[in-house]
Chain A
Amino acid sequence: MTAATVDRETSGARGDQPPVPDGAITITVKIMRFNPEVDSEPRWESFGVPALPTDRVLNLLHYVKWYLDGTLTFRRSCAHGICGSDAMQINGVNRLACKVLVKDLMSGGGKHTTITVAPIKGLPVHKDLLVDMEPFMEAFRAVKPFLITYGNEPTRERIQSAADRERFDDTTKCILCACCTTSCPVFWNEGSYFGPAAIVNAHRFIFDSRDEGSQERLDILNDAEGVWRCRTTFNCTDACPRGIQVTKAIQEVKRALLFRR
């Protein structure tokens, strides 16, 4: 992306800086900025941030926000990869800022390290790294992501064998961070595609032995915007911070569609 770049000195940007810990190095954090209240288009801005190799990228963003520029805007909550708030492009790939450590991004041979951070792609940017999640959540809700059963409920729990439980374990791990969906070239080009995350969540129920709604869900995914749009690029699997075999799950849904009835 072409955008003007502004470099900002670390010192004096917003009062005194906190003490720099022993062993810290200065990292350049280059951030895609965009605030529609003041900007006509996105721009790059760079900040010098003292960081330890064990710091998370989220720590660096916090440093910028807390000490250099309070207007920098992003979502975050749990800070250890569970809540799914802080998906962003870090050095061009979709990651959770709280799950990437500086040491894994450091340049070799004593070279100065620059880390670029940009919003996830394919969703409208509201401000800086914060995007509109609604199109993503809409796709999730569209696949009926809930257990569907008919008939009377048992008095106790439903019986499910450990093997049947294991069958859909991988896709229960999804935290709806959107790393997968916004790494998908099909989603970038055709925003109407459900995207990997919605299919992962459909998979979680299609392969749950307790569920009786598979046909409804498969009908939805058989749609023009559904599972057949997948071109098996594996970007989604690479992007998933939970290690879900996303592409495999999509293939299993395709197979379920081919072999049903």
Chain B
Amino acid sequence: MQFHKYDVVIVGAGGAGMRAALAAATEAGHAPRTAVLTKLYPTRSHTGAAQGGMCAALANVEEDNWEWHTFDTIKGGDYLVDQDAAEVMAKEAIDAVLDLEKMGLPFNRTPEGRIDQRRFGGHTRNHGEAAVRRACYAADRTGHMILQTLYQNCVKHGIEFFNEFYVLDICLTETESGPVCTGAVAYELATGEIHVFQAKAVVFATGGFGKVFKTTSNAHTLTGDGMGIIFRKGLPLEDMEFYQFHPTGLAGLGILLTEGARGEGAILRNASGERFMERYAPTIKDLAPRDIVARSMALEVLEGRGAGPNKDYVLLDCTHLGAEVLETKLPDITEFARTYLAVDPVTEPVPVYPTAHYAMGGIPTNIHGEVLRDNDNVIPGLYAAGECACVSVHGANRLGTNSLLDINVFGRRAGLSAANYAANHDLIDLPENPATVVQDQVSLLLSDHGRERVADIRTALQATMDANASVYRTEETLKQALHDVQALKDRYAHISVQDKGKRFNTDLLEAVELGFLLELAEILVVGALERKESRGGHAREDYPNRDDTNYMRHSMFYKQGDGLKSEIRLDYKPVTFTRYKPMERKY
């Protein structure tokens, strides 16, 4: 076992983690000793897969202001957004984009040489009048450019990385005023060695958990590790029932095709060629928010208007955009359709269906990135940002581009908060035997105590989640999902890992990841069962309406007891309102 001491330890090297590291290193006014721990290699994180853009009311191409952006974010989130947080994000969006440009990000440009902007779902002029050009973009590689630019700047500023260090636990030390975060424990993939990082401040930026579903735009490595660690520590997770299904995944594969395609004018059509979004969102049509478009697509298929031999998808028609627009503004998705479906978007419509994409919920934080241990108190020294966190700026449904914005605005805020906290506090002693949990976990998984295979359990989990807890849910399907997930948890207790070695044991890694997936799937399903209404990304066929009287509140999930078989306790947290009263959501 090895010990390390740092001022700030950042877990995760995607957009939020690297933005936090840069803020700590360059903006805090002092230079805390900072380490970034990632289970991957830098630039492998899934921020790089984001495509369409990052919204900010720059007003470079038409009138816009951050107040409209705030409103769109709140309405888009079906009013479950904490309005103070949305205000912060929309206001700071402008500097967030300009900062990236100054760091070197190659945005597409207007004829005047300014950052170009395009339309995106749910982003409107003057509170819903019409779609507005707000998304700053670099072709359909905006996430790639953000990830590369942030890494380039980490190289520039000599940020220290621990690559392929898989964080499996945090250290909480009990003090008179309650628990304080004092470090993190990591498993080094190359050697199997356990490392304890003592730190004044720890920032979690570990991403989402899309791999609970089979059809997903998420990477294999998005297994909710950070959220799982927090939950196992008895700390709450917020709004986990709200999971976004991106409307345009490549049918059958789930690979993302950016909403930017529709921003550039692409149209969704059913089997008969009808532009069906005109029926569901008469004003902004194909540029309605993702929850509405995904539901509409699912309905078209359920009601028999799907395309293809099995009528199980709809079509994204880009053919009228022309080869020039596709090759220059949407080159990657054009290539994905050609490579993976052998469909050329220049001449044929592309088969698409909703794909599991983004967790609105996560580790609850305030607008400074501080992690909450209940509705009112924070854990000193612990921060979270990005998809793993829930500020909540996305409420029940995130607007397109707001995740790239979230990682930059709140990644920066979490990094600054951590650096400032570290400057004003001393290292606190670690709890006794800080590595015990991780050591036990690893040795248990490596020991022979069963014949269950990781892949079998994971496949079954993903199948039941796709079938029972995706775009539309009912009491019946959710109960089935809960039953299945709990049965799979029982089987997980008998998991067998074939690779017993210490060197790059990715077999072990997958087993650990599966444990987190099972835990998070159960929380999602429990939350979805308890929320007897439809709001944003959570659509209940048996409760089709939003119910503000009973459910205008955040869900807070706590683990009760130890081990995988523990109970989930559900509590609630009020939504923060500033100036926007909930209204019926029409587009």
Contact = CB atoms under 8 A, between A and B. Distances in A.
B454 A82 contact: no
A24 to B, nearest CB: 15
Contacts of A84: 43-44
A156 B112 CA distance: 14
Nearest to B501: A37
A157 interface: yes
Interface stretch (B137-145, B411-419, B483-491, B516-524): B137-145
Contacts of B138: 172
Interface in A193-223: 205, 208, 210-211
Interface string B493-505: 0000111011111
A84 B499 CA distance: 25
B106 A146 contact: no
Contact of B339 (A73, A81, A176): A81
B111 interface: yes
A71 B48 contact: no
B508 to A, nearest CB: 9
B444 interface: no
A76 B220 contact: yes
Contacts of A208: 104, 106
Nearest to A204: B106
B497 A162 contact: no
A130 B164 CA distance: 12
Interface in B205-228: 219-221
B219 A78 contact: yes
Contacts of A112: none
Interface stretch (B83-91, B151-159, B304-312, B533-541): B151-159
B219 A147 contact: no
A172 B44 CA distance: 16
Contacts of B44: 75, 77-78, 83-85
Nearest to A149: B102
A54 to B, nearest CB: 8
A167 to B, nearest CB: 10
Interface in B106-121: 106-115
Interface string B150-190: 00110110000000000000000000000000000000001
A77 B503 contact: no
A35 B502 CA distance: 11
B451 interface: yes
Interface in A69-104: 69-71, 73-85, 99, 101
A153 interface: yes
A224 interface: no
Nearest to B504: A127
Interface residues of B, number: 59
A159 interface: yes
A18 B155 CA distance: 45
B101 A71 contact: no
Contact of A146 (B112, B156, B503): B156
B499 A70 contact: yes
Contacts of B46: 77-78, 83
B102 A78 contact: no
Contact of B455 (A66, A80, A82, A210): A66
A157 B115 contact: yes
Interface string B70-104: 00000000000000000000000000011001111
Nearest to B507: A70
B40 A77 contact: yes
A137 B369 CA distance: 31
Interface of A: 14-15, 18, 35-38, 54, 65-67, 69-71, 73-85, 99, 101, 126-127, 130, 133, 137, 140-141, 144-147, 153-154, 156-162, 164-165, 168-169, 172-176, 205, 208, 210-211
Interface of B: 40-41, 43-46, 48-49, 97-98, 101-104, 106-115, 138-139, 141, 144-145, 148, 152-153, 155-156, 190, 219-221, 255, 332, 336, 339-340, 451, 453-456, 459, 497-499, 501-507
22 contacts: A14-B453, A15-B451, A37-B502, A66-B454, A70-B454, A75-B44, A78-B219, A78-B220, A80-B340, A83-B49, A85-B41, A127-B504, A144-B156, A147-B102, A157-B97, A157-B114, A157-B115, A161-B109, A169-B139, A175-B144, A208-B104, A208-B106
Given A37-B502, A65-B507, A130-B504, 17 more contacts: A18-B459, A36-B503, A65-B506, A67-B455, A77-B44, A79-B219, A82-B49, A83-B40, A126-B503, A137-B41, A145-B155, A157-B97, A157-B98, A159-B113, A160-B109, A162-B109, A172-B148
